[in-house]
Structure 1
Amino acid sequence: MDQELNMRFMEVAMRHVQEGQSFLNNKGIELDMHDLQPALEMLMQVMSEAYEMGYEDAKENK
């Protein structure tokens, strides 16, 4: 994956970390940033796959 795109995905993910952490805390699940790292990596993979799907769809519908 393009490093610049990866950084943009990380910026998006980081904008929502506090919201996600608050949601988990309200559910009684306390996690620190170290614990959240695997979830962030999974989110990055999801965003990458969604981007690729959109990219392929856009190419097909030109």
Structure 2
Amino acid sequence: MQEQNMKFMQIAMKYLPEGKQMLDEKGIEFNMEDLQPMLELLLNVMNEAYELGKQEAAQTDE
């Protein structure tokens, strides 16, 4: 699970500049202290989506 979370974190960091730009354009301040809880939320979403995809793949194989 730790390795999977690291991969998810790399994906999140890839899109972080785009997300920051969107927030900046809306006038929403975003700093590194705000980043940690948002990344944890994103990891939870990505893990749940991963598990759902895994379950669907298992059903397809049956």
TM-score by length of 2: 0.92
Q: Which residue of 2 aligns with 1:23?
A: 22
Report the number of matched residues.
61
Percent same amino acid among aligned pairs? 51
CA RMSD of aligned residues (A): 0.7
- For residue 34 of structure 1, report the CA deviation from its aligned partner: 1.4
TM-score normalized by the length of structure 1: 0.92
Alignment-derived partner of residue 34 in structure 2: 35
Deviations 1:7-37 (A, max 9, x none): 0000000101111111001000011121121
- Listed as ranges, the gaps of 5+ residues in structure 1 are none
Question: Following superposition, which runs of at least 4 residues in structure 1 exceed 6 angstroms of deviation?
Answer: none
Gapped runs of 5+ residues in structure 2?
none
